[in-house]
Chains A and B, each alone.
Chain A
Amino acid sequence: MKVLVPIKRVIDYNVKARVKADNSDVDLTNVKMAMNPFCEIAVEEAIRLKEAGSATEVIAVSIGDKACQEQLRTALALGADKAIHIETDAKLESLHVAKLLAKLVEQENPELVILGKQSIDADNNQTGQMLGALTKRGQGTFASKLVIEGETAVVTREVDGGLQTVSLPLPAIVTTDLRLNEPRYATLPNIMKAKRKPLDVIAADTLGVDLAPRIELVKVEEPAKREAGVMVESVEELVTKLKTEAKVIS
């Protein structure tokens, strides 16, 4: 079974994003970048499937400018067999990404595509579902457990009221939730080895996908600041303030 894992280069999750002074976007100059945490979980899951003998090949793919090759090398160091970089400088929406990935799915025909459920920058939570629609495959989103049983993927999903389990005939699309697994760290020897693993570059405009924007970013602002609060000395004072000042309890 071939597994395709799309990954995204994003701001490091510990960094607090700053809005540019001209309100045009978030300022990413000199900000630490990393692999999106949900994508790390997707890579880990694919590698575990390989270690368990159900996957034979794990291909990592990333779409964006040259810098995202750094995250592809990380995926290779973690255990992916091969990487594909779809190179573009265009600002992409989830639909564009899904369309480019659909072209790759057509070429590579993986039985399973594992993506993160959302990127922590755009917070869209769309690409996996869109890829499911475009490739006419079933989708197991927000997965906290994935079991391959022959030609079927059994996916336990984190839903609002608890957990839901669905069964998807392969080929299928799965998106990862945080609790699917605990990603491993790349070891130095594996980082060295990853430098010799194949990384193919494909120019996005050779894939025949229209990347023209369909959503215009009008402006980006800081969220409304909360007024500084007060510290109270005792539970009694807290309850009094909640009753008489904030009036949220009676």
Chain B
Amino acid sequence: MSVLVIAEHENGVLKPETAKVVSAAVKVGSQVDVLVAGHNVAGAADAVASIAGVNVVKLVDNASFEHQLAESSADLIVEIADGYSHIFASASTTGKNILPRVAALLDKSQISEIVDVIDADTFKRPIYAGNAIATVKSLESQKIVTVRASAFDAAGEQAPVAVESLSNDNANTLSSFVGVEQTESERPELTAAPVIISGGRGMQNGENFALLNGVADKLGAAIGASRAAVDAGFVPNDMQVGQTGKIVAPDLYIAVGISGAIQHLAGMKDSKVIVAINKDPEAPIFQVADYGLVADLFDVLPELEQAL
């Protein structure tokens, strides 16, 4: 069994998801190679070489792959795919965009967002917004799989292995990059943060989200949001936690003014400890919270900041 893992990077920096996907990959294959495709990504390739379990790093550094567009990336992966029994990528927006295109080009059914590896063919994955866990067995000769990074621990470190440079220039005529608007934040990234504090509709407006800053600063936490808060325009959509936003599993998740709709729970119910602060004692969030506090968040947040 040999696995090709597609590395996740942004602006030339390796993202923490990759070490988690590698740890899922080593559960199925003894040979785990990682493809790093992008532009000016030599640093990311070096970082991958030190992830425990990685056999060889394949580096494709070319302007054609600068923005990891699905059309060019998928063609590249298909060219390299031969001989691998499995192709794994993170179920991030990048992985979700590219991998199904790869699967169709290879005429293979894909398995999305696995949370557990049973054996080389069999995986567990949540369905129906996480209300059921399906065990699925791929009958394909080559398994195309995306991995829910939050469900796996990051692989450790090793003495760096070889980085093989491959030349490839897939000029793609089906799409072109226009621009990017990145959300600036000095806080840890949501999907990797050990502590997350999230606000919902109960925050009432965007300015009130600043009330979360004090607590987040003290805990070194990332700030998330429910869909209600995003739709109301309080905060940008990339802060959204839930079935259609980011899936997180931090050590501590503090839900503030969030009722706990099915779609939100889908994104955070695997957190180690959940705290709910809500003035409605009937809010469904209390059914999954380890610690619940029925109180007005506008009183609680300053107090909490003080107490920490």
Q: Which residues of A contact B (CB under 8 A)?
A: 11, 13-14, 16-17, 19, 26, 93-95, 98, 117-118, 120-134, 136-142, 144, 154, 157-169, 172, 177-179, 213-223, 226-227, 229-236, 238-239, 241-242, 246, 248-249
What are the residues of chain A within 8 A of B282 when measuring CB–CB? none
Is B307 part of the contact surface with A, judged by Cβ < 8 Å? Answer: yes
CB distance from A93 to the nearest CB of B (A): 5
Asked if A138 contacts B104 (CB within 8 A), the reply is no
Q: How many residues of B contact A (CB 8 A)?
A: 88
Q: Bound complex: CA of A160 vs CA of B103, how far in Å? A: 22
Interface 1/0 per residue, B100-113 and A, CB below 8 Å: 11111101111111
Q: Given A120-B128, A126-B112, A162-B182, is A144 in contact with B139 using a C-beta cutoff of 8 Å? A: no
Asked if A230 contacts B291 (CB within 8 A), the reply is yes
Most chain-A Cβ atoms within 10 A of its Cβ — which of B92, B132, B227?
A: B132
Stretch with Cβ within 8 A of A (4 or more), from B27-35, B52-60, B237-245 = B237-245
CB distance from B90 to the nearest CB of A (A): 10
Asked if B132 contacts A214 (CB within 8 A), the reply is no
Stretch with Cβ within 8 A of A (4 or more), from B41-49, B68-76, B200-208 = B68-76
B66-106: which have CB < 8 Å to A? 67, 69-71, 74, 92-94, 96-105
Q: Given A248-B251, A249-B219, is A158 in contact with B93 using a C-beta cutoff of 8 Å? A: yes
CB distance from A54 to the nearest CB of B (A): 19
What are the residues of chain B within 8 A of A249 when measuring CB–CB? 195, 219, 252, 308
What are the residues of chain B within 8 A of A126 when measuring CB–CB? 100, 103, 110, 112
Q: Given A13-B263, A217-B134, is A95 in contact with B104 using a C-beta cutoff of 8 Å? A: yes
Q: Bound complex: CA of A126 vs CA of B127, how far in Å? A: 14
Is B269 part of the contact surface with A, judged by Cβ < 8 Å? Answer: yes
B interface: dominant SS: mixed
Asked if A215 contacts B136 (CB within 8 A), the reply is yes
Q: Bound complex: CA of A68 vs CA of B291, how far in Å? A: 43
Q: A-B contact count, CB below 8 Å?
A: 262
What are 28 A-B contacts defined by CB distance under 8 Å? A95-B107, A117-B244, A121-B127, A123-B126, A128-B100, A133-B101, A133-B102, A133-B103, A134-B104, A136-B174, A138-B174, A139-B70, A139-B71, A161-B10, A163-B181, A172-B175, A179-B230, A215-B109, A217-B136, A219-B135, A223-B130, A223-B132, A230-B290, A232-B291, A233-B293, A239-B308, A242-B291, A249-B252
Asked if A138 contacts B175 (CB within 8 A), the reply is yes
Our pick among A121, A141, A154 for the contact of B128 (Cβ within 8 Å) is: A121
Asked if B112 contacts A125 (CB within 8 A), the reply is yes
Most chain-A Cβ atoms within 10 A of its Cβ — which of B71, B94, B304?
A: B71
Is B158 part of the contact surface with A, judged by Cβ < 8 Å? Answer: no
